[in-house]
Amino acid sequence: MKRIRILAVDDDPDFQYLLEQTVGSQPDMELVAVCSDGSEAFRAVQRHCPDIVLMDLDLQNTGRDGAETARAIRLETDSKVIILTADDDPSTVIDASVRAFASGYVFKSQFALLLPTIRETAEGPTPQSHLICAALLSSLTSAERAVFYNLIGKDVAFHSSTKTIANQQTSLLRKLGLPNKQTLRHIFSAYMG
C-alpha cells in the first residue's frame, strides 16, 4: 500500500499536535514534517516532496499568509494543497483556495472531514477541486476558455486568427496570474486528473 505523504503547516502548537496524532495514526498516511511558517514550509516541501500539504490559512507573524505560501508551493512543486482554516466564512475560504491553487479545504470546526478529504484529494479531482477550478476559470471569456481548453490538450475548433488566439492566450494567463502555458498545464493537471 502506497502511503500518502503529508506535510502540515500551522503555527498553533496545539493544532500541530492534533494533526500529528490524527494523521500519524493512519496506516495509509505518513506525516513527513510539521512547519510553523511559510518559509520553513517551502523548504520542507522541496526536501520531502509530499503528496499533500495541509496549509493553515492564517499564519501569524510569518510575513506571508497561508494562501501565498500555498500558491508558491503549487507553482514550484507537484504537491497538492488542502487549506485548513478556523474562518467559517465560505466565500473567504473559496477566495483563498483560488488564490492558492488549492485542491481542497477543511474548516477546522469540521475536523472530522480532514482524513476523508486527504484521501479523496490524493486519489484525484474531487467536488471541491472542481469548484475551485470553476472559480478560477470564472473570469475568462468564452473565447479565452476555448484557448484554455486547447492549452490543456482538449480538441477545440477555432474560428479566430492565430494573432487573436495568441492575444487571448496572453489575456487568460494574465487573468490567472500564470507566467506561461507550461505552468498553466502544471497547475490545472491537479484539477483535471
Which CATH code of 3.30.465.10, 3.30.420.40, 3.40.50.720, 3.40.50.2300 fits the domain covering 4-124?
A: 3.40.50.2300
Per-residue cell: 146: 476555448
- Cα–Cα distances (Å) from 129 to 24, 32, 101, 143, in that order, read 25, 24, 9, 23
**Residue found by looking up cell 502555458 in the block:** 181
Q: What angle do CA 45, 71, 172 make, to 5 degrees?
A: 140
- pTM for this entry: 0.91
Domain ranges in the chain? 4-124, 139-192
CB 10, CB 36: distance < 8 Å:
yes
- 23-48 confidence digits (pLDDT tens): 999 999 999 999 988 888 889 999 99
- 86-117 confidence digits (pLDDT tens): 888 888 899 999 999 999 999 999 999 999 99
